[in-house]
């Protein structure tokens, strides 16, 4: 099967602190892959290294068939990225931001095409609004539009539904599902086990910079169902969250 | 808006009152207005804009695109240089039309060129500040604190009223060098060894502060 992303031995350090400790990731074409982990597990650092925001201490990152460490700009052109804390230039209007980011990816959109794109996310009447004037859900939809403005094969989403209400979250899941149907691959991080179970084909649970386990949500539940720690964490039917708690512990993280 | 208003207010206000001549001649009034505009745009405005964009993640959003990172910062510099160009032209036009201070045609060109060089000096100071200070709030306070000495020092380069040491420091400060160059560019003083010194010092300031600003710059605040 063709790989959309292959990460081998990725290691990210901040001075003496090891944030990502030699992880391997393998995202297949058309797959939605979830990276789960408590705060400080290393998810965002791993994603940042793949996005080219951080220089890894070691490891290989291949996006499609491009070596991301050797060809940084080429590999960035293949990626659609939605960051955790997304912001755009506050003085620009949505239509200007679409034009700006399309231009940065070498895409030329006519006014009609821009209108069409905004219509897809229900913001056709807000084209002249500034980003800061949008609600949280609208901002999230708009950032996802910008992330996919160049039709990338691989989309990276860092906690895409954080802070969204249930309606907005469901809408986003629908969009993610639509991406899959269009043949895109998606790598997302999330704290929501419900989200991981609902949208991800496979998930990796990560803690202390290492990947603890990888599999489909159903397979992970089946594999760990009888672990004493999972039984202890479960309230009735075993869920992915019970497996997650059992593997990563109950103590609070920063 | 204030960036453009303040130099114009100064240009007009320094000509009011009986003792206005004490503040300096027409060339001094124009150069003071330009210096205030350059410090406002370059040091304070630029560093604050960069710090805010860094705080809100605008830079990170741009850095995940295929645009080379140097173009992100260069585009900011180009915008600021454009603003300086407009500000300098507006000050010179207002000086000519409303205040009655006119220069020979070639001196207008030299003045605008010196203003652009001055903006490089003050932008690099702004870059150094934003490189050394991570928080936008701290930077806001530091920028305002620096505003006064940067402009104040430029006032006493030709005056020994506060003593020879202040005069010397003032003359070779970034603002003082700019005053010297503007004065020569407008034809108020002849181009001299001191003008060459001010020119080289300005290039030196630009390089040193830019290196500091680039070396210690962080794309994220935390």
Mean pLDDT to the nearest integer, A170-175: 86
Instruction: List phi, psi (to 5°) of A204.
Output: -120, 130
Chain B residue with Cα closest to A68: B66
Measured between CA atoms, the residue of chain A closest to residue B68 is A73
Query: B208 or B21, which is more confident?
Result: B208
Residue B98: what pLDDT? 81
CA of B2, closest CA in chain A: separation in Å?
A: 17
Distance CA B46, CA B37 (A): 12
Q: Residue A21 gets which letter from DSSP? A: E
Contact (CB<8Å) B57/A83: yes
Residue pair B83/B37 in contact by the 8 Å Cβ criterion: no
Distance from CA of A131 to the nearest CA of B (A): 12
Residue B97 has pLDDT above 80, yes or no: yes
Q: What is the DSSP string of A192-211?
A: -HHHHHHH-SEEEEEETTEE
Q: Which residue of B has its CA nearest to A152?
A: B65
| B189-to-A63, B26, B91, B109, B193 alpha-carbon distances in Å | 62, 12, 20, 16, 12
Reported ipTM: 0.89
* Residue of A27, A6, A46 lying closest to A207 (CA atoms): A46
pLDDT above 70 (res A1): no
Q: DSSP state, A93?
A: B
Of A184-188, A220-224, B71-75, B146-150, which range is least confident? B146-150
- Output the CA–CA distances (angstroms, integers) from residue B117 to A178, B10, B182, in the order listed: 53, 21, 10
Is a pLDDT exceeding 60 seen at residue B144?
yes
Most B-contacting residue of A104, A105, A162 (CB-CB within 10 A), to test interface: A104
CB proximity A86 to B under 8 Å: yes
| Residue closest to B210 by CA, chosen among B45, B70, B60 | B70
Mean pLDDT value across chain B: 86
- 8 A C-beta contact, residue A215 and residue A33: no
Query: pLDDT (tens digit, 9 = 90+) per residue, B23-73?
Result: 567 888 888 899 989 988 888 889 999 998 998 889 999 999 999 989 998
| Minimal CA separation from B81 to chain A, in Å | 19
For chain A, positions 53-72, list CB contacts with chain B under 8 A: 53
Partner residue opposite A86 with nearest CB, options B53, B57, B63: B57
Cβ separation A104–B60 shorter than 8 A: no
B interface toward A at CB cutoff 8 Å? 53, 56-58, 60-68, 219
What per-residue confidence (pLDDT) applies to B157?
A: 57
Output the pTM of the full model.
0.85
Per-residue pLDDT of A25-53, as tens digits, reads 999 999 999 999 998 899 999 999 999 99
Joined tokens for residue A191: 């704290």
pLDDT tens digits, A93-104: 999 999 999 999
Q: Three-class SS of residue B164? A: helix
Average pLDDT, chain A: 90
Which of B56, B64, B66 faces A87 most closely, judged by CB atoms? Answer: B56
Size of interface A-B (CB pairs under 8 A): 42
Contact B66 A101 (CB under 8 A): no
Residues of chain A neighbouring B219 (CB-CB closer than 8 A): 53
- The Cα B211–Cα A43 span in angstroms is 33
> For residue B18, is pLDDT > 80?
no
The average pLDDT across A165-192 equals 88
């Amino acid at each position: 099967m063709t790989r959309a992303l292959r990460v081998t031995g990725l290691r990210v350090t901040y001075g003496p602190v090891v944030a990502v400790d030699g992880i391997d990731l393998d995202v297949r074409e058309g797959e939605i892959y979830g990276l789960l982990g408590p705060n400080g597990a290393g998810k965002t650092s791993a994603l940042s290294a793949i996005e080219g925001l951080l220089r890894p201490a070691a490891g290989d990152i291949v996006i499609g068939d491009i070596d991301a460490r050797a060809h940084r700009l080429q590999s960035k052109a293949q990626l659609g990225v939605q960051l955790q804390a997304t912001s755009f230039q506050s003085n620009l209007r949505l239509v200007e931001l679409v034009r700006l980011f399309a231009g940065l990816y070498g895409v030329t959109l006519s006014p009609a095409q821009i209108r069409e794109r905004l219509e897809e996310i229900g913001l056709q009447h807000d084209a002249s609004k500034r980003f800061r004037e949008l609600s949280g859900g609208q901002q999230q939809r708009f950032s996802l539009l910008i992330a996919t403005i160049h039709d990338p094969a691989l989309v990276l989403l860092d906690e895409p539904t954080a802070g969204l209400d249930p309606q907005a979250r469901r809408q986003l899941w629908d969009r993610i599902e639509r991406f899959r149907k269009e043949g895109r691959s998606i790598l997302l991080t999330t704290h929501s086990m419900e989200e991981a179970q609902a949208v991800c084909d496979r998930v990796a649970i990560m803690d202390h910079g290492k990947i603890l386990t990888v599999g489909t949500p159903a397979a992970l539940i089946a594999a760990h169902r009888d672990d004493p720690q999972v039984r202890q964490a479960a309230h009735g039917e075993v869920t992915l969250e019970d497996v997650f708690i059992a593997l990563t512990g109950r103590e609070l993280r920063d | 808006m204030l960036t453009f208003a303040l130099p114009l207010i100064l240009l007009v206000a320094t000509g009011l009152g009986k003792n206005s001549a004490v503040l300096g001649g027409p060339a001094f009034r124009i150069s003071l207005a330009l210096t205030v505009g350059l410090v406002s745009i370059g040091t304070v405005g630029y560093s604050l804009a960069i710090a805010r964009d860094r705080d809100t993640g605008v830079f990170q959003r741009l850095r995940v695109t295929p645009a080379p990172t140097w173009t992100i910062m260069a585009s900011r510099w180009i915008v600021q240089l454009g603003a300086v160009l407009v500000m300098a032209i507006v000050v010179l036009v207002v000086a000519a039309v409303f205040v009655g201070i006119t220069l020979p045609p070639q001196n207008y060109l030299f003045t605008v060129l010196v203003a652009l060089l001055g903006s490089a000096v003050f932008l690099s100071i702004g870059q150094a500040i934003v490189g050394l200070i991570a928080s936008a709030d701290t930077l806001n306070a530091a920028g305002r604190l620096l505003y006064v000495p940067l402009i104040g020092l430029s006032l006493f380069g030709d005056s020994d009223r506060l003593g020879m040491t202040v005069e010397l420091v003032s003359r070779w400060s970034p603002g003082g060098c700019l005053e010297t160059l503007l004065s020569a560019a407008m034809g108020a003083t002849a181009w001299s060894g001191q003008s060459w010194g001010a020119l080289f010092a300005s290039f030196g300031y630009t390089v040193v502060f830019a290196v500091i600003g680039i070396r210690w710059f962080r794309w994220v605040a935390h």
